[in-house]
Structure 1
Amino acid sequence: MPTDEELFTRWSAGDRAAGDAFIRRLFEPVRRFLASKVGAEVEELAQLTFSRVLEARERFEGRSSAKSFVLGVARNVIREHYRHRARAPVDVEEHSVADLGAGPSTLRWRRREDEHLLASLRMLPLHMQSVLELYYWEQLNAREIAEVLEVPEGTVASRLRRAKERLRGIYEGSPATAEAAEGSPADPALEQWAERLRGAVPLDPRTP
């Protein structure tokens, strides 16, 4: 089976079948990454992301994974989306998507505490939400996360630590968590939370 990088290289050279396979393989991670941060615009922004990926193909140097390259493009699509919506200049990364006016997420969960976690994530500054999702949901390593976020690799661990601390404060301060099942985002069970969250399927907003 060809790697993501091999498929991307072939797609970049004009192989449409390889491009279709590449998109099928990475569509759900992109859609999930978008769906936690925007509302009904998920499908439109996912399509835009892959169009931008092909346009930016010459920037991919193979130093990291094709997945991290694609998610980096998705991050820029999100930033552009909110900058266009803002009526004044705004540092998107320092605001939460809740503050930026994101519509209801199309992600749906089976457990109530997972809904609370998503709501808490969406109250973090965008750069904190992204670093947690990239590490726990998408299982990227420090080098890949640094590429997506365009930050020095050596800062990733401290960014993760601060983001977890902030998430814990938001989650535990929410009245909705008072009756939630035991466990918190700061517990060792965070990996189990992330595994469940990776399985959440973004609903197609066009479906009645």
Structure 2
Amino acid sequence: MEPPEPSDSSDPPDSSDPPDQCERQLLARCAEGDKRAREELARIYFRPLRCFFIHRVSDDQEDLVNETFIRVLEAAGRYHGGGTVRAFVFGVARNIWREYLQARNRRPDFDPYTTSMGQARGGGQSSMLRAAEDLRIVIDALEGLSVADYDLLTHFYFDELSAREIGEMADLPEGTVRGRLRAALGRLRSRIIELAELPREREPAEETLECWLRRLRQWWRHPS
């Protein structure tokens, strides 16, 4: 199968931090039991969290979103502004997703660095696999990456978290996150080359890989 042609039609992910002060105040009100604040937090984060789980699990997305909100509200009083609210919320979602994968695989020694995303999903397929045919090679390559690489790339390119926010979430320096992103992108590139059996002169550049990932992000947000 041929990889997709590069396209310049989609905008690059915005890695700048969103205004956070209002969300900090909102979370503080949630911790005090303010019902309206809790409804507003759900309004802001329902769609991003649903998208987060849609491309990571084959089912149970709504239950996982609800569990995320429950835990965010339970932990709201322990948030002291050490990072953005966005990183805090996605950090909770990430922990729930990891727990879900461990339970699904029934392996207490589940290793996200050696288990592929396809294996971890246990035979189920993410909704991304219904994407346009010309993106299938990219999806297949993503599925073959380790859970850790998949998690990192999708946080950055799909969830549009900045490297700093990913670092806050995973307790890593921003420079380390950027280095791991480059390495994960390199492994994705190798998978695409292997799956598509591309000759050296047609091996995709990093900019082309990023373009494909942005196209995929646009697809699962607005499937045609």
Q: Same fold (TM over 0.5)?
A: yes
Q: In structure 1, what is the Cα distance between the partners aligned to 2:203 and 2:143?
A: 19
Unaligned runs of 5+ in 1: 204-208
Provide the residue aligned with 1:196 in structure 2. 215
Provide the residue aligned with 1:96 in structure 2. 116
User: CA distance change for structure 1 residues 79 and 110 in 2, over 3 Å: closer, same or farther?
Assistant: closer
Please state if 1:67 is matched with 2:106: no
Give the alignment partner of residue 34 of structure 1, picking from 36, 41, 53.
53
Please state if 1:143 is matched with 2:138: no
Give the alignment partner of residue 25 of structure 1, picking from 21, 44, 48.
44
User: CA distance change for structure 1 residues 58 and 92 in 2, over 3 Å: closer, same or farther?
Assistant: farther
Provide the residue aligned with 1:4 in structure 2. 23
Q: In structure 2, what is the Cα distance between the partners aligned to 1:89 and 1:137?
A: 28
Opposite residue 201 of structure 1, the aligned amino acid is R
User: CA distance change for structure 1 residues 70 and 92 in 2, over 3 Å: closer, same or farther?
Assistant: farther
Return the offset for 1:15. 1.8
Provide the residue aligned with 1:52 in structure 2. 71
Return the offset for 1:18. 1.9
Q: In structure 1, what is the Cα distance between the partners aligned to 2:214 and 2:23?
A: 22
User: CA distance change for structure 1 residues 108 and 174 in 2, over 3 Å: closer, same or farther?
Assistant: closer
Give the alignment partner of residue 86 of structure 1, picking from 105, 122, 129.
105
Provide the residue aligned with 1:126 in structure 2. 147
State whether residues 189 and 209 of structure 2, in contact with CA within 8 Å, keep that contact through their aligned partners in structure 1. no
Provide the residue aligned with 1:159 in structure 2. 180
User: CA distance change for structure 1 residues 193 and 183 in 2, over 3 Å: closer, same or farther?
Assistant: farther
Return the offset for 1:126. 1.4
> Structure 1 length normalisation: TM-score?
0.81
Q: In structure 2, what is the Cα distance between the partners aligned to 1:143 and 1:119?
A: 28
State whether residues 109 and 197 of structure 1, in contact with CA within 8 Å, keep that contact through their aligned partners in structure 2. no
Opposite residue 43 of structure 2, the aligned amino acid is R
Please state if 1:105 is matched with 2:129: no
SS at match of 1:3: helix
Opposite residue 114 of structure 1, the aligned amino acid is L
The range that moved more, 68-77 or 103-112, is 103-112
Unaligned runs of 5+ in 2: 1-18
State whether residues 38 and 97 of structure 1, in contact with CA within 8 Å, keep that contact through their aligned partners in structure 2. no
> Structure 2 length normalisation: TM-score?
0.76
Between the aligned residues of both structures, percent identity stands at 34
SS at match of 1:146: helix
Opposite residue 63 of structure 2, the aligned amino acid is E
Q: In structure 2, what is the Cα distance between the partners aligned to 1:55 and 1:31?
A: 19
Higher relative contact order (CA 8 A, sep 6+): 2
Q: 1:5-39, CA deviations, whole angstroms, 9 ceiling, x for partnerless residues?
A: 33222222222222222122222222222222211
Q: Would you identify which runs of 4 or more consecutive aligned residues in structure 1 move more than 6 Å?
A: none
Count of matched residue positions in the alignment of Structure 1 and Structure 2: 198
Provide the residue aligned with 2:193 in structure 1. 172
The structure with the larger Rg is 2
Cα RMSD (Å): 2.7
